Amino acid sequence: MAVLETRVGPEGSDGPTFCRSDRLCGSEVLPAFYQGRQLRPAWIDEGLTLSDAKAFIDALRLVSADGLNPENYHLSTLESVLSEIRAARAETPGPVPPETLADLEMLLTDAFLLCGSHLVHGQVNPETIESEWFIKGRVEDLAAALEKGLETNDVPAALDSLRPAHAVYRGLMRAFDEYRALVRDGGWPAFPAGPKLSKGDRDPRVVSLREILTVMGDLPAADMSGDPMLFDEGLERALKAFQFRHGLEPDGVAGTGTASALAVTASDRLTQIRANLERWRWITQDLGERHIIVNVADYRVAVVESGREVLSMPAIVGSAYRRTPDFSGRMSYLEFSPSWTVPPKLAREDILPRVQSDPLYLRKKGIRVFEDWTDDAREIDPADIDWPRMGAEALNYKFRQDPGPQNSLGRVKFMFPNKFDVYLHDTPDRGLFRRAVRDLSSGCIRVEKPVELAEYLLRDDPSWTRERIVDAMGGRETEVVTFKEAVSVHIIYWTAWLGEDGRVHFRQDVYLRDAALYRALDELAAGPAG
């Protein structure tokens, strides 16, 4: 096809390239793709059956389930060109204009490469909207994937192979379809404002609550009451299910927090799912055969082995002021009965104000003071320091809390060296795990089940029995234990997912990250530049 050489153009051409008013976003890689094929068409066959093209266009329509807009990949233009070809062959049998076939070639290849790129890397570069994103993404040879699809006459399968294979991503796709249907059907009604509702109440607002929970799927028909205004046991059970799915205290009471969650529209929930599909496209395919996932928005740590969750526990994460960053690491050792050297920033912002308000604070907490940050720094008596006159900028003392029951790190910390100095650890403040919202730390992750996590990580060494672990955690001397095999750790922020119960779970956007992602995705929602 001689015209193809003209349309492809030289590699590295300056400026954007357009085809039928659609910008070819892959114009920089199209020449290399066709040079590798010696300028042979990829989609145009001798009999012009265009079977690969038609199958791909059908598959392209389905990327809407990924939260992607098929129109961003020339869908309407492709359908128009196919119609032209069908009309030309029907009305004037003979050769179709080569320019039309070249247009089809360019648009199809560009659509596959661009859509494939978005499935592999996401539409939005996470580093442009999340300054704390440090997780490795995926790398795929898109041209090779397309060639394989063409060779096997199964381009849809080639496109599907570029989707994240994680079960959570596939579950989110199903959730996206479910909520699109809810939105098409009008969603659920608004929950009227008013005082809290609980079992035994009889109120007209109970009717709305029933309707909302029925539409959401939390209230099955079997739990419907004969009196629609009565808050009965079945409704309480349904409300607890809703609260559990939304990370709320499952008390069965429609109070302020629950009312706020009920007020979120189906359209907003759909947008939330779409944002989290995008987040999954940012993540490496290889999380590790054994790995630890920290979902910051869910305040939860999970240990996953061969795709199955084998241990899960509540966690406490960084506050909005000291957010836990998104990154991956390799956990290689733990420290029983750790000491805690207070980071300089925390010393200035937390320790100094407390000492100034309570001269006995350091003694109560078992914190020692050293004259500077050198390894052999001399320990000094806190009573010799004029704390009220000490300014934060001049504070150069090193504070260290020795092992013990009051140590802020608790009885064990799990180490995966990183530039943020963030790790998992125990805590003496066990009561904080009873709270539904747990963004309370200075960035590190506190875990509810440190003994169980240590048992799992040391399971390859039979000498580390549970009894020995508990003894080591209660010691007064720090003991470092290196694992026989390091474990991958991924600290990620997800506000929506499909749970093992087959239901969609949502979490509050505690770090206000979703809004920036919504805006970035919406900029791409209108279709390709023309």
Residues known to be catalytic: 425, 444
Here the tokens at position 143 are 């041209």
d(CA 416, CA 119): 30
Longest dimension (CA), the chain: 100
d(CA 187, CA 205): 18
Residue position matching structure tokens 């093209």: 53
CA-based torsion, 216, 220, 221, 225: positive or negative: negative
Here the tokens at position 304 are 């996953």
d(CA 202, CA 327): 49
Indicate the residue type of 448: E
Q: Which of 320, 302, 325 has the alpha carbon at shortest distance from 312?
A: 302
d(CA 480, CA 486): 14
Q: Which of 124, 20, 134 has the alpha carbon at shortest distance from 74?
A: 20
Q: Which of 331, 335, 367 has the alpha carbon at shortest distance from 472?
A: 335
Q: What is the DSSP string of 252-290?
A: S-B-HHHHHHHTS-HHHHHHHHHHHHHHHHTS-S---SE
Q: What is the DSSP string of 11-73?
A: TT-SS--EETTEE-TTTTTHHHHHHHTTT--SS--TT---HHHHHHHHHHHGGGGGT--GGGG
End-to-end CA distance of the chain, in Å?
26
Q: Which of 305, 273, 266 has the alpha carbon at shortest distance from 289?
A: 305
d(CA 427, CA 430): 6
d(CA 27, CA 24): 5
d(CA 383, CA 364): 14
Q: Which of 521, 492, 519 has the alpha carbon at shortest distance from 507?
A: 492
